[in-house]
């Protein structure tokens, strides 16, 4: 990470442009050849009464002038299709210039304490593209039905794009039980080894659960980057601001991992 900052600063000084402008220049650089198609990971709190979903981000590493397709399919891990989640297969189609698609997998509610469980979503058979990160992991976070209403936040792993449009990490905030009155929470990002402004766009927002809502999704823009630097991560925290006195935070901090996109050699 330090090496990248020094390199960008030196280049910016040599070109007599702001560092932010240099990032924009590299992000919009034209790259030829077939892009890589990659899938991220995600998680959601299981819940007790209402089904939820995990939405997996599928990104191209850079824009293409061709139509690209890729197949995807779920596969069991410690979670089993049927009782834990709904098995799903499909084909994603990227039209010219499109870079992001999403595959959503339903997760069934469960009142049995059983620990966290996982399943996979595998990409296969791309056309006009090659496979990058071919497997995403879906984590079903177990919640104890005997501790009262809880607000929790999931995790996400999103493939970084080398050039073109921004990627976005989708984070699910979950209320374990429907509440009779509104619940307001604050969601805010904080740096890890990924930094706001160079790796992602800082985010802070109030969310209100009302009218029987139990699920909210926030999307954090991830900045394009042509510099190989390894995977990086930052945090996103949920805090209860107002609502019934018995509402607490269960899993209060999520981790967003930016899966590095190495540009073509």
pLDDT at 32: 67
20 with 38, same domain: the answer is no
Within a domain: residue 265?
Answer: no
Within a domain: residue 262?
Answer: no
Q: How confident is the model at residue 2 (pLDDT cuts 50, 70, 90)?
A: very low
Sign of the CA dihedral 192, 227, 265, 158? positive
pLDDT at 147: 64
Residue 230: burial class (beta carbons within 10 Å; 0-12, 13-18, 19+): exposed
44 with 20, same domain: the answer is no
Within a domain: residue 120?
Answer: yes
13 with 56, same domain: the answer is no
142 with 231, same domain: the answer is yes
10 with 77, same domain: the answer is no
Within a domain: residue 263?
Answer: no
Q: Report, as an integer, the average pLDDT of 237-252.
A: 91
Q: How confident is the model at residue 265 (pLDDT cuts 50, 70, 90)?
A: low
pLDDT at 196: 97
Q: What is the mean pLDDT of the chain?
A: 84
Q: Report, as an integer, the average pLDDT of 183-197.
A: 96
pLDDT at 19: 44
65 with 160, same domain: the answer is yes
Within a domain: residue 164?
Answer: yes
24 with 67, same domain: the answer is no
Q: Report, as an integer, the average pLDDT of 98-103.
A: 92
pLDDT tens-digit series, residues 44-80: 887 666 778 898 999 999 989 999 999 999 999 999 9
1 with 106, same domain: the answer is no
How far apart are the C-alpha atoms of 234 and 219, rounded to whole Å? Answer: 14
**Is 70 exceeded by the pLDDT of residue 259?**
yes
**Is 70 exceeded by the pLDDT of residue 211?**
yes
Question: Domain residues for 57?
Answer: 31-256
Residue 53: burial class (beta carbons within 10 Å; 0-12, 13-18, 19+): middle
pLDDT at 46: 77
- What is the domain count for the chain? 2
Q: Report, as an integer, the average pLDDT of 162-173.
A: 88
**% the chain with pLDDT above 90:** 58
* pTM of structure: 0.79
How far apart are the C-alpha atoms of 206 and 241, rounded to whole Å? Answer: 9
Within a domain: residue 264?
Answer: no
Within a domain: residue 228?
Answer: yes
63 with 169, same domain: the answer is yes
Q: What CATH number should be reported for the domain holding residue 37? A: 2.60.40.2030
107 with 189, same domain: the answer is yes
Task: Kindly write down the DSSP assignment for every residue of 8-75, as one continuous string.
Answer: HHHHHHHHTS-HHHHHHHHHT----SPPEEEE-EEEEE--SSS-EEEEEEEEESS--SS-EEEEEEEE
pLDDT at 20: 38
Q: Report, as an integer, the average pLDDT of 210-227.
A: 89
Least confident of 85-99, 103-117, 130-144: 103-117
Bigger pLDDT: 79 or 111? 79
121 with 243, same domain: the answer is yes
Within a domain: residue 261?
Answer: no
68 with 168, same domain: the answer is yes
Least confident of 29-33, 69-73, 249-253: 29-33
Bigger pLDDT: 31 or 135? 135
Q: Report, as an integer, the average pLDDT of 6-25.
A: 39
Q: Report, as an integer, the average pLDDT of 96-110.
A: 90
**% the chain with pLDDT above 70:** 85
Q: Would you state the structure tokens that stand for residue 129, as one six-digit string?
A: 């593209």
**Is 50 exceeded by the pLDDT of residue 12?**
no
E strand residue ranges, the chain? 36-39, 41-45, 52-60, 68-76, 89-94, 100-107, 117-127, 130-131, 135-141, 150-153, 156-159, 167-175, 183-190, 204-209, 215-222, 232-242, 248-249, 253-259
How far apart are the C-alpha atoms of 180 and 39, rounded to whole Å? Answer: 38
pLDDT at 14: 39
């Amino acid at each position: 990470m330090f090496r990248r900052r020094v390199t960008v600063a030196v280049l910016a000084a040599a070109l007599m442009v702001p560092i932010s402008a240099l990032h924009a220049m590299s992000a919009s650089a034209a790259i030829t050849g077939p892009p890589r198609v990659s899938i991220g990971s995600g998680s959601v709190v299981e819940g007790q009464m209402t089904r939820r979903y995990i939405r997996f981000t599928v990104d191209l590493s850079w824009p293409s002038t061709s139509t690209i397709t890729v197949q995807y399919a779920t596969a069991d891990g410690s979670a089993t299709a049927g009782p834990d989640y709904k098995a799903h297969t499909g084909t994603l189609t990227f039209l010219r210039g499109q870079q992001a698609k999403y595959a959503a997998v339903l997760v069934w509610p469960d009142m049995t304490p059983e620990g966290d469980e996982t399943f996979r979503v595998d990409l296969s058979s791309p056309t006009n593209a090659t496979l990058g990160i071919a497997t995403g992991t879906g984590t079903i976070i177990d919640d104890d039905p005997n501790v009262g209403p809880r607000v929790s936040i999931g995790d996400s792993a999103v493939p970084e794009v080398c050039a073109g449009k921004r990627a976005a990490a989708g984070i699910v905030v979950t209320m374990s039980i429907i509440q009779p009155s509104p619940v307001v929470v604050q969601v805010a990002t904080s740096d890890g080894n990924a930094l706001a402004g160079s790796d992602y766009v800082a985010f802070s927002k109030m969310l209100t659960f009302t009218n029987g809502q139990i699920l909210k999704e926030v999307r954090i823009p991830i900045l394009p980057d042509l510099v190989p630097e390894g995977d990086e991560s930052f945090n996103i925290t949920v805090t209860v601001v107002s609502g019934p006195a018995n509402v607490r935070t269960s899993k209060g901090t999520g981790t967003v991992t930016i899966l590095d996109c190495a540009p073509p050699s």
